[in-house]
Amino acid sequence: MLFVWSYWKTIFTLPMNPSKEFHLSYSDKESLEREPRGESQQEVLRRAAKDLPIYTRTMSGAIRYCDRCHLVKPDRCHHCSVCDKCILKMDHHCPWVNNCVGFSNYKFFLLFLAYSLLYCLFIAATDLQYFIKFWTNGLPDTQAKFHIMFLFFAAAMFSVSLSSLFGYHCWLVSKNKSTLEVFRAPIFRHRTDKNGFSLGFSKNLRQVFGDEKKYWLLPVFSSLGDGCSFPTCLVNQDPEQASTPGGLNSTSKNENHLFPAKPLRDSQSHLLTDTPTWSETTAKAEKGKVGMSNPALTMENET
């Protein structure tokens, strides 16, 4: 029952698209079309993305913009050429379910793999004794012998392939990565960081399965967040983002987000030393606080 339910939810859950705030306004679209390609267009995009919770850039350091959907791409969002639309936290387009696997159905996809693997292992285990009898001539000479052999080989082969795929996606969850991010690491303003969205195993797991453990094994949506913004482990402040006195980023814009405003890793020792982009005011305010819990640290804000 859970196997079928997970498969059904994986197929028929529509992938989530970016919210309206990421779409360009009519005036911004006109400005973008009038301006020649290059820095002038980037200035229009920077102005449109000024108040958006985005931290990643293109390889050239530009704002990530989709010219087919006419929107500023949220972090971890990619345009699917098959669905012809931008998908939030896109992992891949799966031909087996004829759907994009992304933020809205990634948990269902994981459960589908898990229950499929358990189902195939159960079939192979229960059929093993008859498969052994087949080779030792312990079965009556009927057409059922072929069915037993085919069933065991099919279950065994699917078990091997599913265990590899499920193990790979478990590793992705533990590292808070998507399949696309493995092949191309996310690029933040100051550098490329393949582990930029990783917050530690426990937080990474909860980001996909939610805080309520009773829902983890059920194909019901319980992932954290809205799919448009994600916490990062980076602590460098983006000088382009507006900040409050003392170097603190205003948290009023993040009050509606389900994620904490400053989701740092448990161990911050190696991050605290990376301070070249802090303002002088912030550096002085933070002096003498090494080794203490520091609420003034902020995430790297990327526009």
Angle formed by the axes of helices 106-135 and 144-175, to 10°? 150
Other C-beta atoms lying within 10 Å of the C-beta of residue 209? 20
The answer to whether 94 is a known catalytic residue is yes
Of 66, 83, 94, 170, the catalytic one is 94
C-alpha span between 153 and 148 (Å, rounded): 9
Active site residues: 94
